[in-house]
Structure 1
Amino acid sequence: MIATILLSVGIVFLAELGDKSQLMALTFALRYRWWVVLGGIATATAVVHVISVAVGHFLGAALPTTAIAVVAALTFLAVGVWTLRENVDADDDEDTPKISRLATAAPFLVVLSAFLLAELGDRTMFATAALATDYDWAGVWLGSTIGMVAADALAIAVGILVGKHLPERAIGIGSGLLFLFFGSLTLTGIVWPNLGTLLGAAVALAVPLVAGAVVYALIRRRAAATGRADADELPVLPADELR
């Protein structure tokens, strides 16, 4: 069983390197506390992988993977738009950062549901199911869960290091744009399944780029309007006091 656990850890860990799950973990680490993100990922991974090892290779035909992918894409897009809107409307004073309503609304459940939707029907799930057909299911489940959590923990560590050197608004905007990218990338894979990874990512990148340009324009307009309002409020001294 130990050999099965080690084999599953190695396969899943390598499969997760550079996968969207790591990017999601990094994004959540920029918004929430690291133990909340890691707990949500571990719980979602344990649930998804126990399903995959229980049902095995029959799971792929049983799951409505396209419908799940559409729901996941729409969820990512909605979270991205929500996050960007909050940061566009946030005050410019860095000493009093705006606390996201999303961050106060059960962040563990947000992370848990996002990873459940993202991992159902993912390649890691099918790899786990394939391993379970030839090896002990308990070892595969435990090893695959450890492997995925370990890979995502690396991304969380990167998110923590990056978050320490960025202002609150930059973190929020970056998170929103990444969520838009996840959503558009998922939809691109549904509409054009044979497009390829690199080309699909390039097409999906158009959505956050356009959104980023719009956010930048809105922030500049808001800053200009605030500057004019502050100038109008300056007191006008009488002419004799100016001499």
Structure 2
Amino acid sequence: MEAFITASLFVVLAEMGDKTQLLGMAFATRYRWQTVLCGVFVATVLNHLFAVVVGSYITNYVPMSTVQIIASLSFIVFGLWTIRGDQLEGEDRERSMSPFWTVTVAFFIAEMGDKTQLATIALAAKFPNEIVPVWMGTTIGMMIANAIGILIGVVLGKQIPERIVKWGASLIFIFFGILGLYDALPREYLSVTRVSLFIAVLIALIYFVAKWGNQSSKPTPEAE
């Protein structure tokens, strides 16, 4: 019971204001809150199971910084994908991932190398004989923290135009992807020239993806 309570409280506190809570808030402005909550639950169960059972083993061979870099880059890609806006028009239900899988994949990626995943690994090490209570506790803690974010997102979603919601969610993804790269990359890689080039390329990608999304959202002559 101590392991369960400790894990739950630790994760609730760690998640307040964290990127995954903000993601829950952003997704709740776009999808049904039930869908978001289910996606968060599945992603958390899988990710924290990975952290408890496999994470500590993997980090003996693959540095956690590498995991963080891959997750951060994936997050930027997801932000660009959101800018294109397929999900907001409902097209994802026909030719791409459903809202449930969109939320699940996004949260799973967001948690890779995040402080709550690292905390789960640390808690599992602290309570080596209580892996299941730690797993359950961290999952419950995530659900409580993200339920708060989802509730706020539902309220905000009724008052904010869809275009602003889309760009707000996209910029959240990209911001935390950049932040993750900053934390994970060796400092010698962060020269002024490289950072400037990265920012220039990212801005160009945002511009072209947004333009692509606007063109694809225009009605075709057949549709008219």
TM bucket by the smaller chain? 0.7 to 0.9
Partners in 1 of 2:51 and 2:63 — Cα distance?
14
SS at match of 2:60: helix
Q: Which amino acid aligns with 2:38?
A: G
1:28-63 superposed Cα distances (whole Å, 9 cap, x missing partner): 222221111111111111112222222474443244
What TM-score do the two structures reach when normalised by structure 1?
0.67
168-177 or 5-14, larger mean C-alpha shift? 168-177
Matched, 1:111 2:103: yes
1:132-189 superposed Cα distances (whole Å, 9 cap, x missing partner): 2332111111111100111111111111111111122221222222222122222222
Question: In the alignment, what sits opposite 1:47?
Answer: 46
What TM-score do the two structures reach when normalised by structure 2?
0.72
1:4-36 superposed Cα distances (whole Å, 9 cap, x missing partner): 211111111111112111112112222221111
1:203-243 superposed Cα distances (whole Å, 9 cap, x missing partner): 9xx79xx68x969xx8xxxxxxxxxxxxxxxxxxxxxxxxx
Q: Structure 1 unaligned runs (5+)?
A: 88-97, 195-202, 219-243
Partners in 1 of 2:85 and 2:56 — Cα distance?
43
Partners in 1 of 2:161 and 2:111 — Cα distance?
31
Q: Which amino acid aligns with 1:42?
A: F
Written as runs of structure 1 = structure 2, the 5 A alignment for 1:59-138 is 59-63=58-62, 65-86=64-85, 99-102=89-92, 105-135=97-127, 136-138=130-132
Q: Is the 8 A contact 1:52 1:125 kept in 2?
A: yes
Q: Which amino acid aligns with 1:111?
A: V
Higher RCO (CA 8 Å, separation ≥ 6 residues): 2
Bigger Rg, structure 1 or 2: 1
Partners in 1 of 2:106 and 2:85 — Cα distance?
20
Report runs of 4+ in structure 1 exceeding 4 Å deviation. Answer: none
TM-aligned CA distance change 1:84 to 1:191, over 3 Å: same
Aligned CA RMSD, in angstroms, stands at 3.3
Question: In the alignment, what sits opposite 2:7?
Answer: 8
Partners in 2 of 1:83 and 1:53 — Cα distance?
31
Partners in 2 of 1:193 and 1:153 — Cα distance?
36
Q: Determine what percentage of the aligned residue pairs are the same residue.
A: 38
Q: Is the 8 A contact 1:25 1:155 kept in 2?
A: yes
Q: Structure 2 unaligned runs (5+)?
A: 189-195, 212-224
Question: In the alignment, what sits opposite 1:222?
Answer: none
SS at match of 1:32: coil
Question: In the alignment, what sits opposite 2:173?
Answer: 179
